[in-house]
């Protein structure tokens, strides 16, 4: 195993259930939580057990498959003469009982999609994955619930495997942009934990190290949820990739000192004109990078590009609980009674982006025309 080989399976299919690393408690503890239904997966996404745009998409795909499996098992129980009071039968919503199988199955699936679609608003990968799962479902809708469920599960496995392949391709393209010895700043966590594996921005770092480059990473702490301090720093330490943690407000100083050669971040949604939504604070970093003439790259799988959104202004920005800003867990450092805001993402205008690193290559100076060209032939 090379030093950059993945050591973490962020999501995995294990014993007929989805398991996800509980990212809320990392790095203090490493634990998997189990998921059996669309509703529980949606809650896992909402509460940030799983987070990061591609990982959210993969989780949602499994959520759809789990719902199909749950419904088909319950219907089978009904037909095999199981006691109607059995737990499998009771998993069916009482409103659906008495209807024929297809009606029960379809209604249950729609409920599953509804709860998943509402779990988080900004990362487009969630909606991309749900749309892909819906298309697959529509393609086999006349088959039995068991067959549909198996087809959906196979698709979820494929989305997971594809995500890792895409990250490795992006990694290779991105690694070529970094000089040997480069000191690279990143914001938030766009690593193995934010994807099915390897990562987008951190995938670029892993690929650079694999190619023999001696890079070092500067990780922004990423207030308020601390994805940088807790997750990026942990991932890099696990793999002996040199990493230095700074608080978010130190980035300008580090750039002014000449201690940063490039910035690479991930993204939750890129608009058709190249504007980039990513973790709150990314815009600040991009402005600073411009000021200091430092290249600012965004690692971006094509599934994160939303051609239905013309500019960044139309990207929905999640506002999370003020508790995240007030303090940490039970300890509150903010003055009681103070008004608090907690927008979780911001938008970096395309003009500040040096290049988008995608699985199809690097798009320098992304704009509407470049992005249209890049997306040619991609299924919408
Ligand atoms: O709120 P989070 O932790 O889901 O936000 C994650 C980010 O902003 C990541 O940078 C982005 O999803 C890209 S992950 C490859």
170-375: which CATH topology? Answer: Rossmann fold (3.40.50)
Tell me the per-residue pLDDT of 272-281, one tens digit each, with 9 for 90 and over: 999 999 999 9
pLDDT, position 329: 83
Tell me the per-residue pLDDT of 183-209, one tens digit each, with 9 for 90 and over: 999 999 999 999 999 999 999 999 999
User: For ligand 1, is residue 121 a contact (CB within 6 Å)?
Assistant: no
- Structure confidence at residue 180 as a pLDDT band (50, 70, 90): very high
User: For ligand 1, is residue 51 a contact (CB within 6 Å)?
Assistant: yes
pLDDT beyond 80 at 86: no
CATH of 11-166, one of 3.90.870.10, 1.20.120.420, 3.40.50.10800, 1.20.200.10: 1.20.120.420
Between CA 29 and CA 54 the distance in angstroms is 23
User: For ligand 1, is residue 123 a contact (CB within 6 Å)?
Assistant: yes
Q: If you take atom 10 of ligand 1, which residue's CA is the nearest one?
A: 266
pLDDT, position 5: 52
pLDDT, position 4: 46
pLDDT, position 82: 56
Of 14-23, 86-95, 144-153, the poorest mean pLDDT is in 86-95
Tell me if residue 275 is catalytic.
no
User: For ligand 1, is residue 348 a contact (CB within 6 Å)?
Assistant: no
Q: If you take atom 5 of ligand 1, which residue's CA is the nearest one?
A: 52
Catalytic residue among 268, 275, 306, 346: 268
In percent, the amount of the chain with pLDDT more than 70 equals: 93
Q: Say how many Å lie between the CA of residue 188 and the centre of ligand 1.
A: 7
Mean pLDDT across the chain: 94
Per-domain residue ranges of the chain: 11-166, 170-375
């Amino acid at each position: 195993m090379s030093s950059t080989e993945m050591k973490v399976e962020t999501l995995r299919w294990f014993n007929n259930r989805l398991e996800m690393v509980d990212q809320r408690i990392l790095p203090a503890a490493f634990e998997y939580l189990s998921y059996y239904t669309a509703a529980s997966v949606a809650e896992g996404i909402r509460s940030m057990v799983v987070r990061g745009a591609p990982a959210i998409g993969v989780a949602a795909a499994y959520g759809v498959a789990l719902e199909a499996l749950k419904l088909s098992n319950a219907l089978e129980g009904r037909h095999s003469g199981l006691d109607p009071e059995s737990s499998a039968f009771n998993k069916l919503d009482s409103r659906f009982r008495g209807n024929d199988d297809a009606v029960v199955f379809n209604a249950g699936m729609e409920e599953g999609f509804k709860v998943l679609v509402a779990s988080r608003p900004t990362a487009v990968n969630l909606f991309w994955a749900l749309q892909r799962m819906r298309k697959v479902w529509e393609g086999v809708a006349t088959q039995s619930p068991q067959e549909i469920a198996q087809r959906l599960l196979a698709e979820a496995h494929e989305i997971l495997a594809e995500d890792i392949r895409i990250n490795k391709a992006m990694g290779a393209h991105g690694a070529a942009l970094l000089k040997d010895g480069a000191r690279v700043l990143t914001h938030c966590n766009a690593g193995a934990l934010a994807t099915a594996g390897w990562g987008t921005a951190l995938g670029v770092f892993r690929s650079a190290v694999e190619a023999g480059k001696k890079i070092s990473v500067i990780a922004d702490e990423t207030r308020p949820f601390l994805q940088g301090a807790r997750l990026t720093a942990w991932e890099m330490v696990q793999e002996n990739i040199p990493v230095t943690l700074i608080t978010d407000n130190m980035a300008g100083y580090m750039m002014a000192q000449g201690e940063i050669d490039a910035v690479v971040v991930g993204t939750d949604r890129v608009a058709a004109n190249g504007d980039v939504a990513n973790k709150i604070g990314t815009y600040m970093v991009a402005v600073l990078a411009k000021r200091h003439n430092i290249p600012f790259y965004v690692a971006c799988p094509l599934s994160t590009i939303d051609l239905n959104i013309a500019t960044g202004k139309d990207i929905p920005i999640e506002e999370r609980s003020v508790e995240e800003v007030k303090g940490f867990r039970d300890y509150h450092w903010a003055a009681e009674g103070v008004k608090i805001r907690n927008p979780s993402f911001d938008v970096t205008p395309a003009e500040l982006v040096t290049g988008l690193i995608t699985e199809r290559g690097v798009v320098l100076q992304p704009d509407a025309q470049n992005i249209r060209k890049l997306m040619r032939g991609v299924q919408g």
